[in-house]
Amino acid sequence: MTYTTQMDAARKGIITEQMQIVASKEKMTVENLRQLIAEGKVVIPANKNHTRLSPEGVGQGLRTKINVNLGVSKDCNDINLEVEKAKWAIDLKAEAIMDLSCYGKTQEFRTALLAMSPVMIGTVPMYDAVGMLDKDLKEISVDEFFSVVERHASDGVDFITVHCGMNRATAKRVKENKRLTNIVSRGGSLLFAWMELNDRENPFYEYYDRLLDICEKYDVTISLGDACRPGSINDSTDPAQIEELITLGELTKRAWARNVQVMIEGPGHMALNEIAANMLLEKKLCHGAPFYVLGPLVTDIAPGYDHITSAIGGAVAAANGADFLCFVTPAEHLRLPNLDDMKEGIIAARIAAHAADIAKGIPGARDWDNQMSAARADVNFPRMLELAIDPEKARRYRAESAPECEDTCTMCGKMCPMKNMKKILNGEDLSIL
């Protein structure tokens, strides 16, 4: 029996190779996974042309995944550096990379990334349109927009972010409900500008079926972009954001009718007390589709530390239903991140995702923590360093401050409670002088 997409296969009762791999990674039965994919509650972004892919699942009951953004810009047009970032992201166990390149030889970098990457690759074709077509935004035609999408899909990208939900009605909401930060989505702002300049409907909304044709052909997962995501805590959960979310729910059902897999993108900035309600709202309005969030950043005052504000929001979001976290680096809002920024962002996002998996009761999530606790109780520093989420940093900190006794650290020394409790419970003598 033939199938077009992972969702089509799941609905026909076919177990694909990708489903078998993901089920093994997630420690769940492949039949349970197949049912979740059939219902749209889990996606396996796996373009037919991405031959290096080691597939991952995103959605209900699965480990929270993280995405890393990278790519060239006009001010930082160094393909070799972005390739190096991609290698780091893979080594640091990110499950996805989004190529947000918006200048220069974008296809050259994209194809190199796909050729080397076992992790899923996403793009935002709208970013590439001006550079690829070498035309001013206003002059780009509907057919040309779709030609860019087709190029990305045929190259092998596993998911694409397209801001289909910002139609004329939503744009009107934006204009009538003044925000502090207007539209902060780069793709969303470009589409808003095109709509205003041409007095036209959003082409990806008006001709949505053309987008579905492409995604079905290559089995590209649509990440329905949130053009009206809040760019400040002041703007969260406002009429434009909610109206767009309702539209995304409608577009989700239309995609599922074509067996096209869907993720929903969510807020970027949001006060801590609003996060849980927004996760519930998305799952309700978008029928349980996987939710992909940028942060959310829980305060706007921390340039240079936004990997922390993002990790706080990401942990709360994922614990309350978000399935996929986009990393944020210390360079957010300031500049294109370098390698060190990227590493800090990845580790922060992985901590948030893991903390959420513990809260969600994901099978095996606590095992890692229990192993670390056992190593601490045993005062086994080599094992602690081995288990650390960032072993390199942990080893460096340990080496920078050598204790008098190797089985202690310079915080407590001979007063180490772990060491002393172990001795006392083993009936040994104790001296702390």
Average pLDDT value for residue range 188-211: 97
Residue 307 assigned ligand-binding role: no
Calculate mean pLDDT across residues 136-156: 97
Residue 209: its pLDDT value, please?
Answer: 98
pLDDT of residue 270: 97
The predicted structure's pLDDT at residue 431: 80
- Tell me: is residue 326 an annotated ligand-binding position: no
Residue 274, annotated as binding a ligand: no
Residue 414 has a pLDDT of 83
Confidence of residue 130 (pLDDT cuts 50, 70, 90): confident
User: Is the residue at 388 inside a domain?
Assistant: yes
**pLDDT confidence bin for 407, thresholds 50/70/90:** confident
272 and 372 both lie in a single domain: no
Structure tokens belonging to residue 90: 């893979």
50 is in an annotated binding site: no
Residue 104 has pLDDT above 80, yes or no: no
31 domain residue, yes or no: no
CB atoms within 10 A of CB 291: 25
- The reply to whether 342 and 398 lie within a common domain is no
Using CA atoms, how far residue 181 sits from 22, 175, 178, 184, 188, in Å, is: 39, 12, 9, 7, 13
The mean pLDDT value of the chain amounts to 95
Which residue among 360, 387, 416 closes a domain? 360
Closest CA to 61 of 97, 93, 29: 29
Last residue of some domain: 307, 333, 360? 360
Q: Which pairing describes strands 221-224 and 159-162: parallel, antiparallel, or unpaired?
A: parallel
**Own/partner pairs, 326-331, CB within 8 angstroms, 24+ separation:** 326/66, 326/67, 326/69, 326/98, 326/292, 326/293, 326/294, 326/295, 327/66, 327/67, 327/68, 327/69, 327/94, 328/294, 328/295, 328/297, 330/304, 330/305, 330/306, 331/304
Asked whether residue 73 is marked as a ligand-binding residue, the answer is no
| pLDDT exceeds 90 at position 335 | yes
* Among 360, 376, 409, residue at a domain's last position: 360
Closest CA to 221 of 157, 164, 159: 159
> In CATH, what number is assigned to the domain containing residue 231?
3.20.20.540
| 364 annotated ligand-binding residue | no
Q: What is the mean pLDDT of residues 259-272?
A: 97
pLDDT on residue 419: 85
Binding residue per annotation — 409?
yes
pLDDT in tens, 44-57: 999 999 999 999 99
Residue 34 labelled as part of a binding site: no
Q: Which residue has the higher pLDDT, 146 or 424?
A: 146
185 is in an annotated binding site: yes
Do the annotations mark residue 400 as ligand-binding? no
Confidence grade of residue 301 (pLDDT, cut at 50, 70, 90): very high
Q: How far apart are CA 337 and CA 140, in angstroms?
A: 30
Kindly state the percentage of the chain with pLDDT values over 90: 86
Distance (Å, whole) CA 42 – CA 333:
32
232 and 91 share one domain: yes
Confirm or deny that 207 is annotated as ligand binding.
Answer: no
Query: Residue 430 pLDDT > 90, yes or no?
Result: no
Burial (CB count <10 Å: 0-12, 13-18, 19+), residue 13: exposed
Question: With the CA atoms of 115, 118, 119 and 121 taken in that order, what torsion angle do they form, in degrees rounded to the nearest 10?
Answer: 20
Map tokens 């969702």 to a residue. 7
Kindly state whether residue 38 falls inside one of the protein's structural domains: no
pLDDT at 73: 82
**Does the annotation list 416 as a binding residue?**
yes
Tell whether 372 is in a known binding site.
Answer: no
74 within a domain of the structure (yes/no): yes
408 and 354 within one domain = no
Q: Flag whether 227 is marked binding.
A: yes
Do 326 and 421 lie in one domain? The reply is no
**Can you read off the two tokens belonging to residue 240?**
């434009």
Count of positions (residues) in the chain? 433
Place of tokens 């205003």: 196
> Are 271 and 413 in the same domain?
no
- Give yes or no for residue 429 having a pLDDT over 90: no
78 versus 183: the higher-pLDDT residue is 183
**End-to-end CA separation in angstroms for the chain:** 76
Q: What is the DSSP letter of 269?
A: B
Q: Who wins on pLDDT, 379 or 16?
A: 16
**Pair (344, 415) in one structural domain:** no
225 is in an annotated binding site: no
How many distinct structural domains can be found in the chain?
2
- Do 300 and 381 lie in a common domain? no
For 261, residues 6+ apart whose C-beta sits below 8 A from its C-beta are: 5, 6, 7, 37, 40, 43, 44, 45, 215, 219, 221, 222, 255
- Closest listed residue to residue 102, CA positions, set 147, 150, 69: 69
C-alpha–C-alpha distance, residues 285 and 70, integer Å: 30
Which tokens belong to 289?
A: 């589709």
Structure confidence by residue, pLDDT tens digits, 220-257: 999 999 999 999 999 999 999 999 999 999 999 999 99
371 has a pLDDT exceeding 90:
yes
Domain coverage including residue 408: 366-425
Which pLDDT score is estimated for 406? 83
- Whether the pLDDT of residue 433 is over 80: the answer is no
Residue 354 shares a structural domain with residue 371: no
Find out whether 263 is annotated in a ligand binding site: no
